[in-house]
Amino acid sequence: MTNTTPTGPIAPSIGAVDVLVRNGVSVSGDPALPPIIFGPGYGTSQNMWRLVAPQFSDERRVVRFDHVGSGESDVSAYDRRKYDSLRGYASDLLEIIRELDLHDVVFVGHSVSAMIGALAAIQEPQRFARLIMLGPSPRYLNDEGYVGGFERADVDALLDALEVNHANWATAMAPALMKNADRPELAQELADSMSRTSSLVAQHFARVTFLSDMRRFLKDISTPTLILQSSDDLIAPLEVGEYLHEHISDSELVVLNAAGHYAHLSDPAEIERWIRQYL
C-alpha cells in the first residue's frame, strides 16, 4: 500500500464540529500578541511541548493541540477517509487557525507535524509568518538519489509489529527513537505517550506517515523556514535535513547538539534558544 498526498485545496471537515474540542486545543498568553502554534509528532501529544511552549507565553499567544486520536483530542471525530493522507491533518490545523482568527502564525511542528504545517502554509500562506520544523522528513523511504533512512521492508516490518501489539511496539521503539540512554525516564515517557494513542488510529496514522511522499510540494513552500536537525536521529537522518534545506527556497538548517528524535523533550533549552534566535 502506497500513500500519496493528493493535490488540490484542503477541504474543510464535513458537519458541525467544535474544532477546539476536537483537537484538544489549549491557548495561553494575551490574544493581542502574535501567535505561535506547537504541533506534536506521530503518536504523541501536545504535552511533549510542555518544556518549550510556555517559555513564549509572555511575548506570544501560545497555542497547542493534539491530532485526532491522541492526547486530549476527541477520538470519536476520527474519520479514516479524511485522515488517509496528511492533508486531513492540515485541514484540522487550518480550521484551528481560522477558529482562533490567527494571522502571522509561527508554526513549530515536530516530525510529521512539520509536513502538516507545510501543507497548511502552502494552502493559506497569508496566515503564516514562519515555519519551524523539528526533525522533519518529506519521505521516510529511500529512493533513487534520495536517502530517507528506511527501506520498504523495514517500514513494512515496523507497521506489522505495530499492528500485532501497539503497546509492545511503543516500548521497544522508544529507546531507539529517544536516544539519551543515560536518561531512561525519557524513553519511558515516550512509550507511555505512544501507548495512550488509540491503537487503530496509531496503526493508520503510522501507515499514512511512513508511506507519505511530500518531496514534490517542497518547491511550493513560500514561508520562511527553519529546519532543526538532531545530530543523531533514527527517523530523520542528516541527509534528510540537507535535502529539505536544498529544496525549500527560503530555509535555514541547524544541526543540533541534541541527539534523538525528541530534542524538545531531551534538550528543551536548545530548542527554545534556536526558536528565539530565528524569530
Catalytic residues: 111, 233, 261
Dihedral class, residue 245 (left if φ above 0, else alpha if ψ from -120 to 50, else beta): alpha
**What secondary structure, in 3-state letters, does the chain show?**
CCCCCCCCCCCCCCCCCCHHHHCCCEEECCCCCCEEEEECCCCCCHHHHCCCHHHHCCCCEEEECCCCCCCCCCHHHCCCCHHHCHHHHHHHHHHHHHHCCCCCEEEEEECHHHHHHHHHHHHCHHHEEEEEEECCCCECECECCECCCECHHHHHHHHHHHHHCHHHHHHHHHHHHHCCCCCHHHHHHHHHHHHHCCHHHHHHHHHHHHCCECHHHHHHCCCCEEEEECCCCCCCCHHHHHHHHHHCCCEEEEECCCCCCCHHHHCHHHHHHHHHHHC
Matching residue, cell 502564525: 105
